[in-house]
Structures are given as structure tokens and as C-alpha cells.
Chain A
Amino acid sequence: MKTSHRKKIKLALRYIAVVALTILFLFPIYWLFMISFKTANEIYAYPPVWWPETLQLSNYRVLFEDGDAATVGNSLIVAGVSTIFAMILGTICAYSLARFKTGGEHLANWIISQRMIPPIAIVFPVFLLYVWFGMVDTYFGLILLYTAFNLPYVIWMMRGYIMDIPISLEQAALVDGYTRWQVVWKVVFPMCRAGLFATAIFTFVFAWNDFIFALVLTRTDVATYTVQVTHYFGGQSNFWGKISAMSVLGTLPIFFIVAFMQKYLVRGISLGAVKG
């Protein structure tokens, strides 16, 4: 009786802590979203308004009227296409590393270490090269860089997933009369569907959320939404409505994606170190 009473109090305290933490961590996101719905008067009101009068969408309308919202489309194109490339090329490379230990541990380690070099040190040489080839501010240039930057991640993650597939499934297909390439398409890819899906999502999010590559390699034609957000910061007058609305446009899709990804989140963000 006594212990169950104490247990209840403990649970209640934990609950209060959990709710408080959740509010604390969600508050900045709440604030961002709310500003995007506020009128200019509400944004620049003192003291700050916590709940806008009406959830009006004029900040979003402006983005679409100015054509700024197209930067979200640019993000979609470069993140989407580079994800597809990185997934296909990375997965077959991962298959080779996982099954045949191609290049041994050294190649695998070199590949993952490519991921860990600071983007600024990658993008500067690439920028020089792109200037040379006239590839600055092109979809192709950005897609190529995102593909290259995400490849190590894809290879590393898919290597882990492929190592989980029983090898006899592939051997059975070989004996049954399939070629090695057919085995990759008909057995390996379907067998790691879940891993492919999860890895693709993360690859997409990395490219989607990237700022520094896009900042350096885009001007106007293919600027992504992250670059566009920072364009509204300027001197004394920050366009808060635009900043928040553009941020929400870029963030909302990611939230939806992540909601379906809970199962793979831990493995994805820990570079496969935690199977979760």
C-alpha cells in the first residue's frame, strides 16, 4: 500500500518533468510556426503576442507571389535527385564492401571518413573546380556534390543492412540461374527494402537541410530554401514573417517524414552504430 503510493508520486513527478521538458523543447518550434501566422502588427508588437488573433496566411502568400517559394522546389529537386543517385550507386558499392570485403577495412574506413571532413573544406575546392567548369548555380553541380557527400553515408548504412541478409538467399538465386547483377536487383534490393527506405529518407533530409554547400554554390537560379531564409536577414530590418514562413515551408515536410520514421531514427542518426 505504502510502496504503491510512493510509486504513484514518483510517476507523477516524472510525468511533470517529461511534460515540462517537452514544452521546453517544442517552444522554439511553436514560436516559429506562430510567427508565420501572425500579421506584421502582431509580429512587431510589444510585449510579444503568444497566440495570433487569426491564423492568417499572408506571409505564405507573399512567398508564393514573389516566387521565393520556388526555392523549396529547388531543395526538392536537388535533394530528391541526389538521393536517388546516392542510393543506387551507394547501395551497390555497399553490397561489394559487405559481401566481398572489397578493399578491406581500409576502404570502408576511408569512405566513412570522407563523411566527417567539414563541409567548408570540401566545398571550397569544389567551388574552385565548378568556377572552372561553369557549374556554379546549376542543378547539376549541386546534385553532384550532394550525391558525393551522401555516398559515404549510404554506403556505410547499407553495408550494415546488407550484412544482415542471410547470404544463402543470394546463393540460392545464383544456383537457380540468376546472374550476379540480377541477384542484386531481385534479391538484395528487395531484402533490404526497409533499410533502403530509411537511409534514403536520411540522405534526403541531409541534402534538404544543408546550408553551406548551397550558400557557396548557388546564386539565384537554384538557391535552396535554407539559403533563402538567410536572405531575409539584413541590417536593421529582418523580414520576420518571411523568415518564419519560409522556415516552416522547409521544416514541415521533414516533420511529416520523421513521424513515419521513428523506427529507423536511432540507427539512422547514429551512423548505424545503434541498431535500435
Chain B
Amino acid sequence: MADLKINSLHKYYGSMHAVKGVDLEIPKGEFTVLVGQSGCGKSTLLRTIAGLEEIDEGSIEIDGEVVNDVAPKDRDIAMVFQNYALYPYMTVFDNIAFGLRARKTPKVEIEEKVAEASRMLSIDHLLERYPRQLSGGQLQRVAIGRAIVRQARIYLFDEPLSNLDAQLRDEMRGEIKRLHRELGKTMIYVTHDQIEAMTMADRIVLLRDGKIEQQGSPLDLYERPATKYVAGFLGSPSMNFIDGMVTENKVTINNSNHSLDIPEQIKNKLTSHANKAIIVGIRPEHFSRADIANHQQYSKLSVNIELVQPTGSRSYVTFRLGQNPAVAELRPQDLLGHNTTIELSVDMSRVIYIDPITEMTI
């Protein structure tokens, strides 16, 4: 059963159409990540779920009950805010207990619950402190504690990690994921960071321009993006898009003498695009040194290296395919130098084909 159901939701800010008809069902206990660039409407969507913004059209159902006109306090949701939203004049204990007190929870129960939540987040030694005495990571834990101490139906996270430095962010990602497993609650998490989306989500809902571009499991979206936008959004470094033409068994790359062989099983998909422009999407990790991968599903390319960026475990190599810059992710032992020409193989079974007009994948 869907815990949360959103039907053709619209939201306007004056003349700005922030959410343009979103339909979404979120099953009980799932960890859903709403991801997209800033201004895509993901935060607005989250706030309408919380009841912090009125909706202009459509409906929101929680547990089968339409909550359009239900005030935030009666929706039984808990939320973690981007800037933590901790009260500077209250101790950590009081901050965590704030929501319980609103619900007139007995004092003994408050103490038990705060103790339990703070233990789960290993902040039980900080309860007497004030927010200004805590570090960023600790503040984040308190903010999360404040939400989980309540037995809410749905937990909302509004870019909770964006104020943390990279290392803490990695740590907190795991922490939140662990909490989700332990609590088994429905959680909706908003972020602009595709790595957070990929690593944490049971399901990603990718928003663009106030609409859902695609939703599904992280690997689903990664492997089978529905549009060029999705393909480019997920993955780092992002997918290479190469302009080309479909000719019989090949895609010839514009402004070059390169071409890629189309594998047998895909040929009939591309027949309708014969002799038309096409965009080929290749992820950096689907390049490899020609001598290593030698199989019929691989296409060979000879490219001139412009730049090598080693990261230790992998090296990123920049070159050109026609007019398009491209990045390949190679093993560092593949010893590379600038301005050398190397042979690369492309795993054609993993390549995606995009119609340049509709920007949909074929």
C-alpha cells in the first residue's frame, strides 16, 4: 500500500510555476530521494508534503487520507532542515524533546525517548550543551535526533548534508541509511547531489523543471536513463555525449573519421533512425584500453589524449571525438601521457542512443 500518494500536484509562486503536475506514489518503508538541480521544485514538493506550503492544484494523500487542508502539526510527519533549525536558546535535550512536548508526552517518556534517540546517534553525551557549542556534524545529528525521536509516519529530509564538509557527508550518508534500516520508516530525502541520491535511495525520483523526469531504482536510472537529461545528471564524471549519424551498421561520429559498430541486438532499434543524426551516450567507465578488451561487442577508437587527471585508483583521460570533448576512466597502470595517441575500446552493449530532437533514449 502506498504510504504517500501525490496526484497531479501544481504549485505557483506568483507567476512562477514551481511544480507542474507531479504524480508520485511512495510505498511504506521506502527511502525515496527527490533529486534535481536547484530550482527544479524538489524542495517545494517536499514542503507541500510537510504542509509548509499550500498546493494550488492536485492532492496529497497520506495513508489514503487527503491532507491538502491538514495543518503541518496534524500530518504526523517529522522533518530535518537544511540549516538544522535548532533553537539556540535551548539545550540539545530540549531541542530533541521539543516535538514530543508539543504532543504533551509524559515527562518520563520524553526522557526515555530522547535518551534512546541520542544513543542511536551517539550524541548522548551532548544533551546538556547548547547548539553553539557543537560542531557541524554534531548539529546535524541533533537535527536528525529531533526528527527520529518522534514516531512519525513519514520522515522528510531537506538537503540535510549540504552544509557539511565532504568527509562528514560521507559518514552521515551511511548513518542516515542505517537509521532507515533500523527504523523501517518511510523517508523522503531531497538533495541536489547525485552521489547522495545514488548511494542512499531505494528509489530515485529525478525532477526537472517542476516535473518528474524519471523515477526508479538508482541502477535502473543509471543503466537505463529515459532521457538525455537523466543520463547526464547521474554519474561522475558525467556521461559523454557524442554527435553522430546512423549509417547501416555504424554510427559515424560527426567531423571525424571515427565510427562505432552497432551491435546486432540493437540494430533493429535503430532502423527507424537510419541516415539520421543521433547522440551516442558513453559513460567514462565504458572505455577501456583496446588490447585489454577484445571482443566483438567492443568498438575500437584511436584518440589523441589532451589531458590526464590521475585520482589514484583511476585516471581520467580527456580527448576529442569529433567536436565533442570526451572523458574516459582508465586504470592508472595504463601509463598515459599527454599528446599521445592510444587505442580505446568502447563497450557497445552499455552505450545508449539518444534522439537529438526529442532527447529521449532509443
Contact = CB atoms under 8 A, between A and B. Distances in A.
Q: In their complex, do chains A and B touch, with some C-beta pair under 8 Å?
A: yes
A179 B73 contact: yes
Residue with the highest number of chain B CB atoms closer than 10 Å, among A175, A179, A182, A193 = A175
Interface stretch (A21-29, A165-173, A223-231): A165-173
A176 B81 contact: no
Given A182-B102, A191-B89, A193-B89, A175 B52 contact: yes
A83 to B, nearest CB: 23
A172 B89 contact: no
A178 B87 CA distance: 14
Residue with the highest number of chain B CB atoms closer than 10 Å, among A174, A177, A179, A193 = A177
B349 interface: no
Given A175-B72, A176-B150, A179-B73, A168 B102 contact: no
Nearest to B80: A172
A171 B102 contact: no
Interface residues of B, number: 25
A205 to B, nearest CB: 26
Contacts of B81: 168, 171-172
Contacts of B85: 166, 168-169, 171-172
Interface string B116-158: 0000000000000000000000000000001000100000100
A175 B87 contact: no
A148 interface: no
A169 B87 contact: yes
B75 to A, nearest CB: 8
Contacts of A171: 47, 50, 52, 72, 79, 81, 85
A254 interface: no
B4 to A, nearest CB: 15
A171 to B, nearest CB: 5
A172 B80 CA distance: 8
A177 B102 contact: yes
Contacts, number: 60
Contacts of A193: 89
Contacts of A179: 71, 73
A172 B156 CA distance: 11
Contact of B83 (A166, A175, A182, A190): A166
Interface in A173-232: 173-179, 182, 187, 190-191, 193
Residue with the highest number of chain B CB atoms closer than 10 Å, among A178, A179, A182, A187 = A178
Interface string B39-80: 000000001001110000000000000000001110101110
Contacts of A169: 85, 87
A171 B50 CA distance: 9
Contacts of A173: 98, 102
Given A166-B83, A168-B81, A168-B82, A174 B72 contact: yes
Given A168-B81, A168-B82, A171-B52, A176 B87 contact: no
A172 B79 contact: yes
Contact of A190 (B50, B82, B87): B87
A129 B147 CA distance: 55
Interface in B187-203: none
A185 to B, nearest CB: 12
Contacts of A176: 73, 78, 98-99, 102, 146, 150
Residue with the highest number of chain A CB atoms closer than 10 Å, among B88, B99, B146 = B99
Interface string B74-108: 01011101110101110000000011001100000
Contacts of B102: 173, 176-178, 182
B142 to A, nearest CB: 12
B161 to A, nearest CB: 15
B89 A190 contact: yes
A275 B103 CA distance: 38
B89 A175 contact: no
A193 B89 CA distance: 10
Given A174-B71, A174-B72, A175-B78, 5 more contacts: A174-B51, A175-B52, A175-B77, A176-B150, A193-B89
7 contacts: A166-B85, A169-B85, A171-B50, A172-B79, A175-B51, A175-B99, A179-B73
What 10 A-B pairs come out closest when comparing CB atoms? A176-B99, A177-B102, A172-B85, A168-B85, A177-B73, A174-B72, A168-B81, A175-B79, A178-B102, A190-B89
